[in-house]
Structure 1
Amino acid sequence: MHAVSGVSWGYAGLLPHLGADRPLIALQARRLGGTRQAPGSVEEMADDYLAEIRKVQPHGPYHLLGWSFGGLVAHAVAARLEAAGEEVALLALLDSYPLPEGFRAPEIDGRHVLTALLGSRGESVPVRCADSVPDVAELAEALRQSDPVLAGLEHAQAAAVVAATLDNLRMRYRYVPQVRFGGDALFFDATGTPAATSGSAAWAPYVGGRVEEFAVDCEHAAMTEAEPLRAIGQVLARRLRPARI
């Protein structure tokens, strides 16, 4: 499941580590395909993505993964599949945390969008809307000028990424999981961006099984770069390998 940007192409870096016989299917935000109406909640998004997943694979076992915002969606999909009697054999959460108790949503300004997309690099990108209501067109151009990956996008495509990011930030800041997944989960901790609590503690109310943690030496925004994905991919490959009898 995609992160807050709505983009999932970064997961392609997992392919060399999973093996040629292991397909990787990524879901991207519908905004990126030209849809103007976004889901109204994480729950709506999970229902939508669940339907798409079952078109490709009607029955389990399922292996689900999500980074950041995508981890929340992956968990919601896993709980829905489990409730439907399907097997979720793997749930991987890449530096994804549910909101802590007492969380108060911040005002979303232009700087907030840039740091959500670029991490610490977004703090120094000059934009007029840094401290005001996000200007989608201005932020789209700023991203194209400052990020080597997004530089290859046309303006309309970059604007769709910004719009998807705004949608997902708004949903993320009002979402608390209402369902519990009964299985185990793998949690990959970006150690370069310290969190207030451990992944296992944060997910304990929402995961019935064991939450196993793995340290990844990177910042949160770098989880889909080559070296972090190599470390993540090696763990996933071991877990996906059929057991020897």
Structure 2
Amino acid sequence: MTVDVADPIRSPVVALGAPVGGTPVLLVHGSTGTAAAFRSVARHLGQHRPCLGIEAEEVPPDLPAPSVDALARRYVRAIRHVRPDGPYHLAGWSLGGAIAWSMAARLRAEGDDVTLILMDTRPPVAGAEPTDHAEALCDFAETFSQAVGGRRLLVDPERLRRLPDEDRQYAEILRRFTDAGLVDPDDHGYVLGRARTAVALTVAVSAWQPEPYGGAVHLLVPERPGAVHQLVAGWSRHCGGAISARSVPGDHISMLEPANAAQLADALRRVVVAAEQPPPGEESLVAEPSEGCRRFGRKDPSLR
């Protein structure tokens, strides 16, 4: 499959791996907005079907952050440019799961078949206050430092809130990265762009309330901390279809890393292959039960 990105505006859809046949899996970015985190998974999954990443544009400091629904509308237009008709297989990691949810709801409303997969995406909490800039920036610092350095850099949001403005907050995080040996000063411009995007997306998702979704939802949950039941309970409040859950190795970050990528790719492949089979009577389209997987409505002692 060849990706046509002939739009005059840069497409958010990027090819991950060599073109192969079949219905593509669309992997929706996490908080930093880049699809690069999926490359190890796509290396395995792409042996069987196309893998396309969806990336966010950097958010300029002088423009308001886009909402989740605005991002979903843009991404749906972009994937229809590449693939005008369904079915669509959408998999969102981290806060990308919220964007994938909104995309899936829109595609289903337009009459398309959708497979929706959430990879360690926290459900929204009703009535919760939106995340502020300092807290979102601290979340970025923790996630980014683990991804590039293998250890979490913990920053107190209150310390950032005492600084005079957001520019000083960003400068403090960049200083902390440099002092920890995580970022070279020559890379500050790139990291600042990723930080601004992450903060904008985190704040947007924290204010998002999902529309009810009538299709099946598939959760891929890392073994650490292994909060399968909490995630199922949270998402079931918004889902009118069946929910399946499968445990995969790693934690929120390492589930995508090379050591665990093959297992995550296999879990994605199983869900997608099952979704492409004819519906067996009245049963929902979910991955076959196995260790670490539960088909709701049937008991699986491995997740008790």
Partner of 1:122: 153
Correspondence list, 1:144-183, <5 A: 154-177=187-210, 179-183=211-215
Tell me, what secondary structure is at the counterpart of 1:229? helix
Q: Does 1:2 align with 2:33?
A: no
What's the CA shift for 1:36?
Answer: 6.4
**Candidates 70, 73, 76, aligned match of 1:50:** 76
Structure with max Cα Rg: 2
Partner of 2:285: none
After superposition, the C-alpha distances for 1:170-191 in whole angstroms (9 at most, x for unaligned) are 10211111x2222212101123
Cα distance in 2, alignment partners of residues 159 and 131 from structure 1: 20
Normalised by the length of structure 2, the TM-score is: 0.68
Cα distance in 1, alignment partners of residues 228 and 130 from structure 2: 16
After superposition, the C-alpha distances for 1:76-115 in whole angstroms (9 at most, x for unaligned) are 0000000001111x21101102212232335442534312
Cα distance in 2, alignment partners of residues 199 and 227 from structure 1: 24
Aligned pair count reads 238
Gaps of 5+ in 2: 1-27, 279-304
After superposition, the C-alpha distances for 1:123-164 in whole angstroms (9 at most, x for unaligned) are 179xx848645533443464467586x769833221110000
- Specify whether residues 208 and 37 from structure 1 end up closer, same or farther in structure 2 by C-alpha distance, changes over 3 A only: same
8 Å contact from structure 2 (residues 218, 243) kept in 1: yes
Higher relative contact order structure (alpha carbons within 8 Å, sequence separation ≥ 6): 1
Gaps of 5+ in 1: none
8 Å contact from structure 2 (residues 92, 100) kept in 1: yes
AA aligned opposite 2:170: V
Cα distance in 2, alignment partners of residues 240 and 58 from structure 1: 19
Cα distance in 2, alignment partners of residues 194 and 76 from structure 1: 25
- Specify whether residues 223 and 151 from structure 1 end up closer, same or farther in structure 2 by C-alpha distance, changes over 3 A only: farther
What's the CA shift for 1:17?
Answer: 2.5
Cα distance in 1, alignment partners of residues 186 and 53 from structure 2: 19
**Candidates 103, 107, 119, aligned match of 1:94:** 119
Normalised by the length of structure 1, the TM-score is: 0.82
Partner of 1:231: 263
AA aligned opposite 2:127: G
Partner of 2:291: none
- Specify whether residues 144 and 43 from structure 1 end up closer, same or farther in structure 2 by C-alpha distance, changes over 3 A only: farther
8 Å contact from structure 2 (residues 178, 185) kept in 1: yes
Cα distance in 2, alignment partners of residues 141 and 22 from structure 1: 42
8 Å contact from structure 2 (residues 85, 112) kept in 1: yes
- Specify whether residues 145 and 217 from structure 1 end up closer, same or farther in structure 2 by C-alpha distance, changes over 3 A only: farther
AA aligned opposite 2:42: L
Aligned-CA RMSD value: 3.1
8 Å contact from structure 2 (residues 223, 251) kept in 1: yes
Correspondence list, 1:1-245, <5 A: 1-31=28-58, 37=63, 39-88=65-114, 90-109=115-134, 110-118=137-145, 121-123=152-154, 129=160, 132=163, 134=166, 135-140=169-174, 142-143=176-177, 154-177=187-210, 179-193=211-225, 195=227, 198-241=230-273, 243=277
AA aligned opposite 1:122: L
Cα distance in 2, alignment partners of residues 31 and 13 from structure 1: 23
